[in-house]
Structure formats: structure tokens, C-alpha cells
């Protein structure tokens, strides 16, 4: 609804950290501002904020009024309505992703790796970007089932009519997001370069 108070055109690299008051915060991903601001034409919101190294306190800063500031006086303040929609659709998934980051190593009793905050951030960004792409195409998906994987990755699963899609967000930042599409007896595996490609699988 309102985007304002972008006081600098400086865009931080990913990931970066900043300080607000006495609490140290980290912002994962590239922080960009909406196209109706004066600063940039980007409309990405790849932002994840957490207050401590191992705990995410807030993944979606635009649900409420937030302000960021670092030593370079970089400030961004906004309220973003699409995130509300995102929260409604995926709040369960977001909560589960957050919860998985609290699992200790060996959480599955077979030696599973921890789910890192970085992987969680990437997973939630994927959800947001895919939801936006689906909304643009008028496609509605049921809420995903969310599963942590023993190798430290996170899997989302959708079922719609006779189609199913499993998407794995890998723990290694250098690895690509992969998918398995199931339609009847047909199984198709592949790589997802951008979350918007999710649209193809449910058209």
C-alpha cells in the first residue's frame, strides 16, 4: 500500500548484516524496493530478517511496518499488501519452515543434517515468488505440504487434481532447485531456474 523513505540507492549484497538499536539483525537475500518508489524499478522482495544466528523471528518484514538502518544510513520502510495474501496462503508452510530450523542435528534419528536459516530463507522466497507468479496467471494452488529432508534441504509438495509436484530447496546454496512432477504413472524430474516456472506445471 505504501512504499516510502528509501533514503539511499545503495543496495546491499547478499547476504549482509545490519544493526538496529541494540539487536543485531541479518537480512538474507537481496533487498530491493517496489517499482512505484523513486529509487529502483525492481519489484522483488527477497527479504528475510532474523534476530539471532539460529532463529528466524520475522521472515516477511512487510507484513507490518519495518525500518532498516545500517551504518551507511540505508533506510527502507514499507507496507506491502501482497505479503498479507502470502501469509494467508502459506502461513502454515512458513511456520513449518521456521520450526525446522530449530531441529538439532540428527533430528530424524538417522543422523539428519540441520536445516539452515539460509535454506529456510531460500525456501520462503521460493514460496513467495511462486505464489506471485501463480496469482498473475490466475492459478490457485492448495497449501503445500512442507518436509525437511535429512540432507538439510526442504521439500514442498502440492497436489491438485491428478497432478502432484514436489520441489526440493537444496541446502547447498550452489545447487539448483529441483522438482519431481507426477501425473498418473508419469514421473518427470528437472531443475527449476525461477519460481515462476511453477506455473507451467499446473496450467
Partner 1 sequence: MIKSSAEKVKIVDILDEDELYRRIHPSWQKNNGKISSGAFITKPHPVSIDIAKLTTPIKTLSNFPDHWLVSLITKIVRSIGLDACHNPRPENYAHGLIKGKINKTKARRLAESASLVIKK
Q: List interacting residues with partner 1 (CB under 8 A).
A: 96, 100, 107-112, 145-151, 153, 155, 157, 166, 168, 178-180, 182, 187, 189
**Residue 80 or 166 having the CB closest to partner 1:** 166
Helix runs in the chain, H state only: 81-100, 117-136, 198-202
**Residue 35 or 108 having the CB closest to partner 1:** 108
Counting Cα atoms < 13 Å in the Cβ hemisphere of 47 gives: 24
Query: Minimal distance in Å, beta carbon 150 to partner 1?
Result: 4
What is the torsional sign of CA 10, 14, 16, 21? positive
Query: Minimal distance in Å, beta carbon 74 to partner 1?
Result: 37
The answer to whether the CB of 47 falls within 8 A of the CB of 66 is no
**Residue 36 or 54 having the CB closest to partner 1:** 54
CA pair distance 79, 62, nearest whole angstrom: 5
Q: Phi-psi region for residue 73, left (φ > 0), alpha (ψ -120 to 50) or beta?
A: left
Query: Minimal distance in Å, beta carbon 176 to partner 1?
Result: 13
Query: Minimal distance in Å, beta carbon 135 to partner 1?
Result: 26
**Residue 19 or 150 having the CB closest to partner 1:** 150
Amino acid at each position: 500500500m505504501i512504499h516510502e523513505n528509501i533514503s539511499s540507492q545503495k543496495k546491499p549484497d547478499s547476504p549482509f548484516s545490519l544493526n538496529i538499536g541494540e539487536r543485531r539483525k541479518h537480512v538474507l537475500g537481496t533487498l530491493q524496493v517496489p517499482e512505484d518508489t523513486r529509487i529502483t524499478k525492481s519489484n522483488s522482495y527477497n527479504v528475510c530478517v532474523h534476530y539471532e544466528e539460529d532463529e528466524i523471528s520475522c521472515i516477511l518484514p512487510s507484513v507490518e511496518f519495518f525500518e532498516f538502518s545500517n551504518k551507511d544510513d540505508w533506510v527502507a520502510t514499507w507496507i506491502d499488501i501482497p505479503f498479507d495474501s502470502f501469509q494467508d496462503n502459506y502461513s502454515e508452510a512458513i511456520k513449518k519452515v521456521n520450526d525446522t530450523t530449530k531441529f538439532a542435528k540428527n533430528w530424524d534419528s538417522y543422523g539428519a543434517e540441520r536445516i539452515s536459516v539460509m535454506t529456510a530463507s531460500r525456501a520462503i522466497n521460493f514460496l513467495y515468488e511462486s505464489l506471485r507468479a501463480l496469482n498473475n496467471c490466475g492459478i490457485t494452488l492448495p497449501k503445500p505440504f512442507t518436509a525437511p529432508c535429512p540432507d538439510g534441504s526442504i521439500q514442498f509438495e502440492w497436489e491438485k487434481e491428478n497432478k502432484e509436484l514436489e520441489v526440493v530447496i537444496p541446502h547447498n546454496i550452489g545447487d539448483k532447485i529441483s522438482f519431481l512432477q507426477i501425473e498418473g504413472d508419469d514421473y518427470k524430474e528437472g531443475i527449476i531456474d525461477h519460481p515462476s516456472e511453477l506455473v507451467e506445471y499446473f496450467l
